[in-house]
């Protein structure tokens, strides 16, 4: 049986480290907290919560403002380092920018981690609606089943892996159009593979549509996906069915080729 690295009962898991990571996640979720608030949120003693916070503060990962503790800006540096070292981001950013210039809509680059979608890069074009949409997308993981990028990724994962993801995260209903049945999801995956791209037809946000295409690595494994989003008034007809899918697939292809060429060059 494969060991699950996220299992808190794994024999290789250090409970103190796990609890400290819980503290970090809680500070993010609560947008800062006092010792009492954190202890209550995590069902910790006040002394235990204080000890974790003090350790993190002494190591520069937490700052204190009055009675409240917040995550330190050092996480920005860590996060940016991780993003810059990601090949999908390094070779995909330019193509996302190009899509934005050509369409004026939203374009994003997404990868999958622990069964959820992580936005590596999202940019808003001059015609795009919803000024707070980028912040919402980049600050939290996404369900894969209701986004075009996510469905592009799911289409190329093994069936067993998709079943694991559904078991872990479910198929949360976001709108009346969201896929909430696993059999329907598997049918959708087959359709995505056949046409080469995925649709999000108001499955995440009412009135918002998207087209997505997958990006594979040198060994054929799925690295992520690129997608283009916009209001249904501009995402319909020939533009939605032909023009935009071709643009998205071309962008995904360029990113994929550049990553694979880079991988080949590093072998010599």
- The per-residue pLDDT for range 160-211, each reduced to its tens digit, is 999 999 999 999 999 999 999 999 999 999 999 999 999 999 999 999 999 9
51 CB-side CA count, 13 A? 8
Spatial separation of the C-alpha atoms in residues 54 and 47, rounded to whole Å: 10
Q: Mean pLDDT, to the nearest integer, of 32-37? A: 95
Residues forming a β-bridge with 112: 117
The two counts, helices (H) then strands (E), for the chain are 11, 7
Specify the DSSP class assigned to residue 136. H
Spatial separation of the C-alpha atoms in residues 210 and 244, rounded to whole Å: 9
Spatial separation of the C-alpha atoms in residues 147 and 211, rounded to whole Å: 9
Per-residue pLDDT tens for 120-147?
999 999 988 776 655 555 567 899 999 9
Least-confidence region, from 3-7, 75-79, 232-236: 3-7
Could you give the C-alpha distances from 244 to 140, 146, 174, 186, 190, in angstroms and in order?
26, 19, 24, 24, 20
Question: According to the model, what pLDDT value does residue 1 have?
Answer: 32
266 or 56, which is more confident: 56
Residues forming a β-bridge with 118: 111
Question: According to the model, what pLDDT value does residue 45 have?
Answer: 94
Spatial separation of the C-alpha atoms in residues 252 and 260, rounded to whole Å: 12
What tokens appear for 86 in the block?
A: 């990601």
Question: According to the model, what pLDDT value does residue 3 have?
Answer: 41
Least-confidence region, from 21-25, 69-73, 129-133: 129-133
What tokens appear for 232 in the block?
A: 């249904």
Spatial separation of the C-alpha atoms in residues 206 and 195, rounded to whole Å: 24
In this prediction the pTM is 0.80
Mean per-residue pLDDT over the chain, rounded: 91
């Amino acid at each position: 049986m494969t060991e699950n690295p996220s299992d808190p009962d794994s024999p290789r898991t250090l409970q103190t480290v796990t609890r400290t990571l819980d503290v970090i996640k809680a500070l993010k979720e609560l947008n800062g907290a006092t010792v009492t608030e954190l202890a209550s949120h995590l069902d910790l003693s006040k002394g235990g919560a204080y000890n974790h916070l003090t350790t993190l503060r002494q190591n520069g990962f937490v700052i204190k403002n009055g009675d409240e503790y917040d995550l330190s800006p050092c996480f920005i540096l860590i996060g940016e380092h991780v993003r810059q070292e990601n090949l999908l981001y390094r070779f995909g950013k330019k193509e996302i920018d190009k899509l934005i210039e050509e369409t004026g809509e939203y374009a994003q680059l997404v990868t999958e981690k622990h069964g959820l979608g992580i936005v590596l890069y999202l940019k808003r074009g001059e015609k795009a609606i919803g000024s707070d949409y980028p912040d919402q997308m980049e600050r939290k993981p996404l369900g894969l089943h209701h986004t075009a990028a996510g469905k592009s990724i799911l289409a190329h994962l093994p069936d067993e892996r998709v079943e694991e993801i559904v078991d872990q995260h479910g198929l949360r209903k976001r709108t009346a159009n969201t896929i909430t049945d696993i059999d329907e999801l598997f049918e959708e995956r087959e359709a995505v593979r056949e046409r080469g791209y995925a649709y999000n037809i108001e499955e995440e946000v009412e009135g918002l549509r998207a087209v997505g295409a997958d990006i594979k690595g040198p060994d054929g494994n799925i690295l992520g996906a690129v997608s283009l989003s916009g209001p249904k008034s501009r995402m319909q007809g020939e533009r939605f069915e032909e023009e935009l899918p071709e643009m998205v697939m071309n962008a995904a292809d360029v990113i994929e080729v550049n990553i694979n060429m880079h991988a080949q060059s590093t072998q010599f």
